[in-house]
Amino acid sequence: MDNVWIIIITSLISGILATILTIIVQRISEVKKTKRDIFEILMSHRYMIPDKTNVEALNKIDVVFYKNETVIKAWREFLITADAANTSPNKVTEVNDKYLRLLEEIAKIIGYSKINWENIKKYYFPQGLSTKILEEETLRKAQIQQALQESKQDKRNPSVSAQEMGFQFVLKALDSPNGMELIQKMIELGAKGDKK
């Protein structure tokens, strides 16, 4: 009878230990996957740090890498430099360098030992994508300017609305080879006029 109890107790203990061990392994695996996911996002958006998806991933670093002092240190240095760049735009290169150093530290922590500064520094950012982003940003600014102009327009004499004129101008400008430059200049002139 004693052997039966020993078998039952041993079975229970081994079952409990196996369950605990499985939970621990799953938790470690989940943390590693989360770190890799964040790294992949940061790597894939390194050509445009302020991208929304990238910013969300950056803001998870404090939680996901809280045990990794080198990553947290690199993250803090990036934050300090990025904050300084808000008041001093000539620090953009320094911000990029701190960002790449952060990626390098994360790569070390997650076991990507062959990914280093030289690998991280090189990325693909085609001219077509750059132009598309610039056009979208310029169009968005033009729409904002038009909305501001329309809100200021005298509603008593609206022969042609400012919005209609603005959209006509944007469409014509986009047809010309230097249209994006014209739109950008108009936005700048409008911003200067609003400041007066």
For each successive 10 residues of the chain (196 residues), what is the average pLDDT? 77 83 85 92 87 92 93 94 82 87 93 84 76 80 78 57 65 66 68 56
Task: Give the pLDDT score at 162.
Answer: 60
Around 85, how many Cα atoms within 13 Å sit in the side-chain half-sphere? 17
Determine the 3-state secondary structure of 116 from DSSP.
Answer: coil
Name the pTM for this structure: 0.60
d(CA 66, CA 63): 5
Task: Give the pLDDT score at 148.
Answer: 76
CB atoms within 10 A of CB 162: 17
Task: Give the pLDDT score at 156.
Answer: 47
pLDDT in tens, 130-183: 777 778 888 888 888 777 777 676 554 555 566 666 666 666 666 666 666 766
Task: End-to-end CA distance of the chain: give it in Å, rounded.
Answer: 97
Task: Give the pLDDT score at 59.
Answer: 94
CB atoms within 10 A of CB 45: 19
Rg of the chain over all Cα atoms, to the nearest angstrom: 27
Amino acid at 26: Q
Q: Give 146's DSSP letter.
A: H
Determine the 3-state secondary structure of 160 from DSSP.
Answer: coil
Degrees to nearest 5, angle at CA 57 with 143 and 74:
115
CB atoms within 10 A of CB 75: 22
d(CA 85, CA 41): 23
d(CA 33, CA 64): 10
